[in-house]
Structure 1
């Protein structure tokens, strides 16, 4: 009886604990004092619950212990030789997969398979999200992959992947059975010569496809290759071996990059399906004089930009789309501009004809008159001996450097009251060749480049609005007292000597408010003398913007952002400006020897060869826009929904 009572007491629950008496640090039975460890493969990092980063670990085997919740998997810069089906198939939540820089081969595939087309799972109103892969997962694309480790069912079960990168590999054809959910596919820098028929028939959500730097030929594509891609907006086929524009382009396509192929002819029939195309890049092909017949681009009614850089064209193509806004034709063989050559594109805002063979006698005086919307005109690197006439009054930028100009007259510049930048560098201009009143109507001109001409002194009556003046590389031997009286807003003056004066570094002096008549001090002997007498000034040591005079620390001689004292103003007074230079600058030690206004913190340009002009060149912007990551100037994120 007593034993039974004792057992009953032992089985009864005890009294409830008194509040505040428990030991919070003591773990209760069945509980852990720490949260459960996050599943992460050995040596990999898992910064978030949905991210696995195994970049650059020299892995030879696909890592195990990858959480099923992973959405971003980065495996670039390893030595994987196969991509096992069973590992990817269980990662049903995976959205981005990066397979750069591995050793996967493709002999196991046997031959290019054919995928049966499936109906689209996204209707016409579907708007897939970007699903951008975090930047720290992508790294550098230097892969050495091929198809041997990509079995036909490698991506079976990966129904959520929207971004897949297999770029810079050794793939010889487009991999089979790619996830139908893809929105962005990177296959650039491979050995792909063929896209098997039907290989892209299921990827109806694909928006961006990168196939540049491969070995694609016309026989490797057919009319159905891209026809099922009903959401495709960006297609890069540059740096291949194509001889013609691919057929079957979808109407949703906005950017088509075909630069650096072997295209000899563009046919209108190949472009009829791509009615929404806005950017067509055909630079560095082999079009020649007959490869772009009149009306070939007429189906592209909404075309915004056309690049034809380096195609051997001997004239501006005829019958271009009327809505064209930018026509880029540098480095061709154009010799003539007729009165009606540009009349079909009245909406042009940018025209680049740099580095052709234009001569003044063959440029009609009304050639540019129809272009009332033109804002930028680049005629650099031609054979012009005089300014063209009939320039549109709305021009903002006019580039005429590296021609053979020998004279400037007021008539061609009349009416250009909106011109902000004029480049006349590397011509044969002398001060006597600049007619009186030439600058009179350029009321908005802010940047004038007259560098590397044959000027013997600063041209008079420069525009009042001028802020930046390039005169380096001329024969200027002195600066007169009246040189800058007409330019009170001048902030940057370049007066480097052709022979490397001023300590053979070249000077860049910042100037403001020359109304006082206080002029720059004498230049170095290499550049000649000075017409007036050096004005009296403070001690040269004090002209280094000393703390006692200005209340600020003097700038470092080797600093990259030296500031210059306002010339002509008492030391420590007036506005201060940064020296306008893309290169690093330093204060000239030689400037301290002259107490004039140039001695007050002027700058020395220290980058590039002596005599190199600082004028900005536009034609380089249009050379090539291929970006390995698809983020070049014409990437989808730049052009999408532009009007």
Structure 2
């Protein structure tokens, strides 16, 4: 037999009638690098091609979806890429592959191989026949009524294996040599199976120290597996039943960069202060949707993105975050935080922290000691009732501030509360209890959202100096034409969008800005449109006046200067 310089890629993609949109990101990670090999070029057809198959002179043979029940025996010896997916093949014997000495890729996706049938022994024989097996996928996409699924992993796989994909089966047990003694093994995909702790050997990766990617999401694990490969840089354990992380479970994973632990049952009691400490390369940590009551101690300093949302966190202590010097994104939404539970120095020294999500908590006021360099601050859906003069006195770099759906009233917004926010571009105060436009908005705002309040008046100077404002949302309030000061829009020289839908207007507001391009006035009480209603808006592109109360109003609009 001739020795091939290129690596043999054996795909045993079995048991699934693949859905068009069936792959998730984790499955595609294995498939995307080799999919091009499975598309034969029909421009050059080779002789001696099996019936109903397509062959090219380059050695690509496609026999997919032709109801084969047995492995084809009349394949050209020059075959190097063979696709047999979407057939009914139940077994493969080594002699059928031995003569295909140029074979590099074999795709057996969606056939009838099972661990109760002819999978285990033939897979061993195939590997010995080729002796070059690099990538094996037994990935299955579940289909209703589908009965071809692995319940056990193969006991033996060749030591030349580089990647193994067993996703979306019903595997309950892994053997010691399934993944053990594989020095070339780099990635293992076991997500969407039925693995429990009892189904894993203690040394599942014994002799396979070079595994870099391990995906074990959506199983039934209660504990982090023991003796994980030290070369891991990506570890997925989400959607399991993890209750505890054993002491030292991550101690050897100094190169781990991504750790996914979301949607488990982890508590603070199920980990200690050193659980994550030795993960010196960790940049992404997801602990969302667990049962944490506080932020775990001992988090490594190189974390960039920290997911802690959907827990039961009530406090942020002084020293729990300050060592994470590279932290940029902190997601704490959907917890039980109150302002008094956040230490004033909790964010001290976090110079890279620019995005903080605190929405859907129990904050009764703006927390003290906000990160000095924060740019995006989401505090919507809390219980905040006032904004004091110094609440944002130190957040000079803030660009986006969302305070919507709190309990803020107009008298309780200090006129100088936003004085330091000279870089603020977007401010959202929708869904509060404002009855008039407050004073003191930042002059550099580009987007201001005040929808779904009780605003009934716009005073003369409320929008003064806001020459950069481009979008203003005042929809679903209680505005009337005579409650809007005639000079209210006078300085809005950049305004392009004005939404005043869902108010109590009976006519088009006067003296609208000349820069206006889109005007929303639907769901008001407008009964007529005067001939000069839009004389001040020569750049108008869209006017939305749905549900006019009289045909006369619509006719006047169509006959006007528009």
Q: TM-score over 0.5 for the alignment? A: yes
CA contact 1:184–1:207 (8 Å) conserved in 2 = yes
> 2:46: which partner in 1?
37
CA distance in 2, matches of 1:360, 1:409: 14
- Match among 115, 120, 124 for residue 106 of structure 1: 115
CA distance in 1, matches of 2:494, 2:181: 75
> 1:486: which partner in 2?
465
- Match among 174, 187, 192 for residue 153 of structure 2: 174
CA distance in 2, matches of 1:104, 1:262: 30
CA distance in 1, matches of 2:366, 2:354: 17
Residue correspondences, number: 482
CA contact 1:92–1:160 (8 Å) conserved in 2 = no
Residues 196 and 38 of structure 1, relative CA distance in 2, 3 Å threshold: same
Residues 530 and 341 of structure 1, relative CA distance in 2, 3 Å threshold: farther
Residues 306 and 37 of structure 1, relative CA distance in 2, 3 Å threshold: closer
With 232-241 and 204-213 compared, the bigger mean Cα shift is at 204-213
Residue 89 of structure 1 pairs with residue 29 of structure 2: no
**Cα displacement string for residues 472-510 of structure 1 (whole angstroms, at most 9, x for unaligned residues):** 2222345556554433333333333279x9xxxxxxxxx
Residues 477 and 301 of structure 1, relative CA distance in 2, 3 Å threshold: same
**Cα displacement string for residues 580-616 of structure 1 (whole angstroms, at most 9, x for unaligned residues):** xxxxx9998999955264992347799xxxxxxxxxx
With 158-167 and 480-489 compared, the bigger mean Cα shift is at 480-489
Residue 73 of structure 1 pairs with residue 82 of structure 2: yes
Q: For 1:153, what is the secondary structure of its paired residue?
A: helix
Residues 99 and 337 of structure 1, relative CA distance in 2, 3 Å threshold: same
CA contact 1:162–1:182 (8 Å) conserved in 2 = yes
Q: CA deviation at 1:454?
A: 2.0
Q: CA deviation at 1:238?
A: 0.8
CA distance in 1, matches of 2:45, 2:387: 80
With 322-331 and 97-106 compared, the bigger mean Cα shift is at 97-106
Residues 230 and 94 of structure 1, relative CA distance in 2, 3 Å threshold: farther
> 1:157: which partner in 2?
129
1:425-440 alignment runs, 5 A limit: 425-440=404-419
CA distance in 2, matches of 1:360, 1:416: 17
1:319-338 alignment runs, 5 A limit: 319-338=298-317
Residues 477 and 150 of structure 1, relative CA distance in 2, 3 Å threshold: farther
CA distance in 2, matches of 1:387, 1:94: 65
- Match among 430, 448, 459 for residue 451 of structure 1: 430
Q: For 1:411, what is the secondary structure of its paired residue?
A: coil
Residue 343 of structure 1 pairs with residue 283 of structure 2: no
Determine which structure has more spread, i.e. the larger CA radius of gyration.
1
Residue 51 of structure 1 pairs with residue 27 of structure 2: no
CA contact 1:81–1:102 (8 Å) conserved in 2 = yes
> 2:29: which partner in 1?
none
> 2:514: which partner in 1?
568
> 2:219: which partner in 1?
240
> 1:119: which partner in 2?
none
CA contact 2:468–2:494 (8 Å) conserved in 1 = no
> 2:296: which partner in 1?
317
CA distance in 2, matches of 1:427, 1:598: 38
Q: CA deviation at 1:534?
A: 1.9
Q: CA deviation at 1:372?
A: 2.7
List gaps (5 residues or longer) in structure 1.
1-33, 110-146, 502-511, 537-566, 571-575, 580-584, 607-643
CA contact 1:588–1:602 (8 Å) conserved in 2 = no
**Cα displacement string for residues 437-475 of structure 1 (whole angstroms, at most 9, x for unaligned residues):** 222211222222222222234443322332233322222
- Give the TM-score taking structure 1 as reference length: 0.67
**Cα displacement string for residues 326-362 of structure 1 (whole angstroms, at most 9, x for unaligned residues):** 2211111111122223233233222111111011222
Q: What do you get for the CA RMSD once the two structures are aligned? A: 3.7
Residue 183 of structure 1 pairs with residue 154 of structure 2: no
> 1:143: which partner in 2?
none
Residues 363 and 43 of structure 1, relative CA distance in 2, 3 Å threshold: same
Q: CA deviation at 1:384?
A: 0.1
List gaps (5 residues or longer) in structure 2.
1-42, 141-147, 481-488, 547-562
> 2:237: which partner in 1?
258
